[in-house]
Structure 1
Amino acid sequence: MLINENKNIIDWRQYGRIAVFIDVANVIYSLRDLGWRIDYKKLQKYFKNNVKLVDIYFYYSTKKENNGQADLLEMLARKGFQLRVKDVKEIKLKHGNYIFKGNCDVELTIDMIDLMPAYDTAVLLSGDSDFAALIKYVQRHGKKVISISTRGHISREIIQSADNFLWFNWFKNDWNLSR
């Protein structure tokens, strides 16, 4: 596994056709610690301008009543993102407390496997260790995987498994949601 120390040495041409898989929950928590948010239109423009882009897949759990999230999802759909959206489940615990669960890891895994004929390299925006086995699987089928995440949100398993690892902050100038 290669951890690039300088974003300027990334030659995207060597990676062929690229599909981008965004684990939104992981990205939100990663960037919260860094103090910035992604402008997904800028992210899309970046990849369209720099790689042979197959598509961008966006995995997100949402509450139905959240209009702000609905507006974001509508905009992304208009921009051509492939959306995989799941409702957050409310689970009641013994003592009347609730937990909320909304995880799209299985959907991301299925897509990354099903779409292998369409791409040469998967770019995974996540540091979730649950994806280490997936990375190894697609690599055994001749694909490369690049992971993008941040300290405190990247697992050792992902760093060791991915063909390349990049830090979110390297893309701040290109992807930052400016207020």
Structure 2
Amino acid sequence: MGYSLISKQIKTIYDTKNGATKRKANLDIEIVLDMFNTIDHYELAVLVSGDGDFERALTLLRGRGKQLLVIATEGFIARELRNVAGRHYIDMRDIKKEIEKQGR
């Protein structure tokens, strides 16, 4: 169908000072590597994230002639990423009905 599903183990980070735990599965580097390792196979890159860490990768993709679409939620998208996306940004709330699971 034109996409790959990549999974990663969730890390549990322990805070020794207060005993709290945090679960984390950071996929940023894997996503960026896939963007550039498959660059000859697509014209449009769709990123579903509001993480500003992707700003540089999207800027480089645009410089290589790729079209961009960023899907995130207003209030949860970094200003830098919003600026790179420009008019190629979709607020997930605007498409909620189309992507929601039906028949609950």
Verify: 1:85 aligned to 2:7, yes or no: yes
**Percent identical:** 31
Match of 2:2 among 55, 58, 62: 55
* TM-score, length basis structure 1: 0.52
Partner secondary structure for residue 35 of structure 2:
helix
Match of 1:143 among 43, 53, 66: 66
Q: Which one-letter code corresponds to 1:152 in the other structure? A: G
The aligned counterpart of 1:169 is: 93
Instruction: Kindly state the Cα deviation for residue 101 of structure 1 after the two structures are TM-superposed.
Output: 2.0
Verify: 1:101 aligned to 2:24, yes or no: yes
Q: Any unmatched runs of 5+ in structure 1?
A: 1-53, 57-81
After TM superposition, the structure 1 = structure 2 runs for residues 1-179 of structure 1, keeping only pairs within 5 Å, are 55-56=2-3, 82-95=4-17, 96-162=19-85, 164-178=88-102, 179=104
The number of equivalent residue pairs is 101
Q: Which one-letter code corresponds to 2:96 in the other structure? A: K
Partner secondary structure for residue 76 of structure 2:
coil
Q: Any unmatched runs of 5+ in structure 2?
A: none
Q: Which one-letter code corresponds to 2:27 in the other structure? A: C
Q: Which has the higher contact order (CA 8 A, sep 6+)?
A: 1
Instruction: Kindly state the Cα deviation for residue 123 of structure 1 after the two structures are TM-superposed.
Output: 1.0
* TM-score, length basis structure 2: 0.85
**CA distance in 1 between partners of 2:34 and 2:89 (Å):** 21
Instruction: Kindly state the Cα deviation for residue 103 of structure 1 after the two structures are TM-superposed.
Output: 0.7
Quick check: which one's strand share is greater?
Answer: 1
**CA distance in 2 between partners of 1:101 and 1:128 (Å):** 15
